[in-house]
């Protein structure tokens, strides 16, 4: 149920983000310049946050699948 709602939310967001540039370019929606800058900053922060989460997930997945070290044999000369 929750994953279905999440997929629906992502799909709706994708449609809005796909259509918004055309709506603004045709001047059907007038946005103040400050709002555009704030919106771009929020999108950039969200993309950066998702990227950091994905990188941490990948590192965690590698650490979880690595076999534990058995024993280290050090050769002393």
pLDDT of residue 27: 84
Rounded-to-integer distance, Cα 28 and Cα 11, Å: 23
Domain spans of the chain? 1-30, 32-65
* pTM, full prediction: 0.47
For residue range 29-57, list pLDDT tens digits in order: 887 888 888 988 998 999 999 999 999 98
Q: Where is pLDDT greater, at 24 or 71? A: 24
- Angle CA 53–4–23, to nearest 5: 80
């Amino acid at each position: 149920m929750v994953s279905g709602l999440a997929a629906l939310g992502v799909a709706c967001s994708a449609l809005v983000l796909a259509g918004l540039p055309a709506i603004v370019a045709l001047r059907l929606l007038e946005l103040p310049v400050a709002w555009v800058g704030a919106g771009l900053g929020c999108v950039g922060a969200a993309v950066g946050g998702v990227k950091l989460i994905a990188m941490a997930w990948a590192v965690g997945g590698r650490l979880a699948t690595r076999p534990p070290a058995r024993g280290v044999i050090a050769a002393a000369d």
